[in-house]
Amino acid sequence: GQSLEQPSEVTAVEGAIVQINCTYQTSGFYGLSWYQQHDGGAPTFLSYNALDGLEETGRFSSFLSRSDSYGYLLLQELQMKDSASYFCAGLTSGTYKYIFGTGTRLKVLA
């Protein structure tokens, strides 16, 4: 099947670094995206990896390894406002379906 698996919840303290993993079991897709969603809000785009390697955007970085069917989102210098759900997502090759991961709820503690 086509799925993107993420840990359900991650907790970290303010100022720390946290990594949210995304593993997939699909035959192929075009890159991996990351979205943030606050409770009651709409998802907003954070980062996109078209190719293997690391992409850095401010405090957020994202990594993709196609050979390992694995990606992650790295959040540095955590702030309280980073408490939200984070989703990885990808467009499947062939069927062109856009699949979102199971989502990770991040709790940032003071």
Partner 1 sequence: DSGVTQTPKHLITATGQRVTLRCSPRSGDLSVYWYQQSLDQGLQFLIQYYNGEERAKGNILERFSAQQFPDLHSELNLSSLELGDSALYFCASSTGLGTDTQYFGPGTRLTVL
CB of 105 vs partner 1, minimal distance in Å:
9
Question: Tell me, what DSSP letter sits at residue 81?
Answer: G
Q: Which is nearer to partner 1, 19 or 102 (CB)?
A: 102
Bridge partners, residue 54, by sequence:
63
CB of 24 vs partner 1, minimal distance in Å:
14
Report whether 94 contacts 2 (CB < 8 A): no
Q: Which is nearer to partner 1, 48 or 70 (CB)?
A: 48
Nearest residue to 30 (alpha-carbon basis) of 96, 86, 74 = 96
Q: Which is nearer to partner 1, 11 or 77 (CB)?
A: 11
CB of 108 vs partner 1, minimal distance in Å:
19
Looking at residue 2, its amino acid is Q
CB of 9 vs partner 1, minimal distance in Å:
11
Q: Which residues bind partner 1 (CB under 8 A)?
A: 30-31, 33, 41-45, 48, 50, 87, 89, 91, 95-103
- Cα–Cα dist 57/63, whole Å: 12
Q: Which is nearer to partner 1, 79 or 102 (CB)?
A: 102
Report whether 62 contacts 32 (CB < 8 A): yes
3-state secondary structure at position 105: strand
